[in-house]
Structure 1
C-alpha cells in the first residue's frame, strides 16, 4: 500500500526461450507470394504495473501499463521462400517484437 486506499502492484516475467514462425504476405501484388521467417532461442520479458484505488474494502479501480518484448538469436534464424526451406538457411537474421499498452480495471473481492 502506498497511502490510505492506494496500492501499487508490479510484475516482471522473463522468457528463457522463444520460438518464432512468421509469414510476410504481399496480397496487393498480382501474384500472391510469401516469405517465411523462422527462429528459435533468444528470450523475452513482460513487465506490468497497476496503480489501484480502493473505493471500499472490497471494490477497487485502477490503471496500468504492460510491456512485452521477445527476440530470437541472430545466428539461428532462417528465411525460407514460398517453395520451402531446402538445406541450410539462406539468410541469417534476428527477429524481435515489442508491444505495450495501457488498461483500466475494476475488481471486486469476495469475503
Structure 2
C-alpha cells in the first residue's frame, strides 16, 4: 500500500508542471475577435424635387402631361451597415418614410390651384467588397451593386376636382464608393451609383426603359468611440421612356419622364 501511494505521488508531481503551465487552451484557440463590424443609425433628409412627364413632338407641337417643381419634403430614415473585415465584404441599406409638404404642379398644361401633401417612401439595399486601400491605409475604395424601390405619388387640385398620379420605381444600382479618415475624430464618404436599368410605373403606364444616376456624400465626427454624427447631401436622377399610341390616329407618341430629387442629410449613428 505504501508503495502505491508513493507511485501515485510521483505521477502527480511529474504531471503537475504540465497542468500548471497551460491549464486552459491558448486565447487564440478559445476566444477569437469577431470579424464583423457595423453601425445602425437614424437620418433626416430635407429634400426638394422636380419632375416632368412630357412629349416633345406630339402633333408637331409637343405635349406636357404633368410636371412638378419646388416640391419640398421631410423624410426620416433608418440606416444600417454590416462589414466582414476578414473578406472585406459588406452589406448596407436604408429605408425612408416621409412627406411631400409643398410645391407647384401642372396637369395637362393647366397650373393647379393646390398640390396636396403626399407620402414619399423608399428602400435601398447594397452589397459589395472593398477593392483597394490608399493614402497610407486611411482611405478605402469599394465596389457595390444593389436594389432600390421608390414611391413618390402626386395629388393635385383644380377648383373642386382632384387629380392623382401614382409613381413607383424598381431600380438596379451599380457603383463605386470611397471612405476615409480625417485625423482621429472625423471621416468622410462618397458613393456614386449608376442605374443601368429601372422599371417605372405611372398609374397604368409601364416604362419601356429607364436609367439614372445617384450620389451621396457625408462628413462625420466621432463624439465618442461608438457614437458619431454626420452631415451631407444626396442627389437622385431617374429618366423613363413610355411608348404610347394616340387614340385618334394610332400615331406613336413617346413620353419621357425626368425625375430629380436632392437635399441635405443629417445623421446620428452607433458603431459596433
TM-score of the pair, normalised by structure 2: 0.30
Partner in structure 1 of residue 260 of structure 2 = 98
Measure, in 1, the Cα distance between the counterparts of 2:244 and 2:264: 34
Identify unmatched segments of 5+ residues in structure 2: 1-180
Q: Which one of 47, 58, 83 corresponds to residue 226 of structure 2?
A: 58
1:16 to 193, 196, 208: 196
For residues 13 and 94 of structure 1, the distance between their equivalents in structure 2, rounded to whole angstroms, comes to 22
The 3 A distance-change label for structure 1 pair 79 and 37 is farther
Return the alpha-carbon distance in structure 1 between the equivalents of residues 201 and 236 of structure 2. 18
Name the Cα RMSD after superposition.
2.4
Q: Does structure 2 retain, via aligned residues, the 8 Å contact 1:39–1:95?
A: no
**Distance in 2 between the 1:70 and 1:11 partners?**
17
1:78–1:89: 8 Å Cα contact kept in structure 2?
no
Q: Distance in 2 between matches of 1:16 and 1:40?
A: 13
* Counterpart residue number, 1:42: 210
**Structure-2 change in CA distance of 1:89 and 1:65 (3 Å):** farther
Contact preservation (8 Å) 2:208, 2:243 = no
CA contact 1:18–1:40 (8 Å) conserved in 2: no
Could you tell me how far 1:3 is from its partner in structure 2? 3.0
- CA distance, structure 1, for counterparts of residue 198 and residue 220 of structure 2: 32
Shift of the alpha carbon at 1:79?
4.1
Count of equivalent residues: 90
Structure 1 residue 55 displacement after superposition: 1.0
| Structure 1 length-normalised TM | 0.67
Measure the CA separation in 1 of the matches of 2:251 and 2:221.
Answer: 53
Structure 2 Cα separation of the partners of residues 89 and 20 of structure 1: 23
Cα distance in 2 between the residues matched to 1:40 and 1:102:
32
CA contact (8 A) 1:37 1:80 kept: no
Task: Look up the SS of the partner of 2:208 in the other structure.
Answer: strand
- The CA deviation at 1:91 is 1.4
Extract unaligned runs of 5+ from structure 1: 24-35
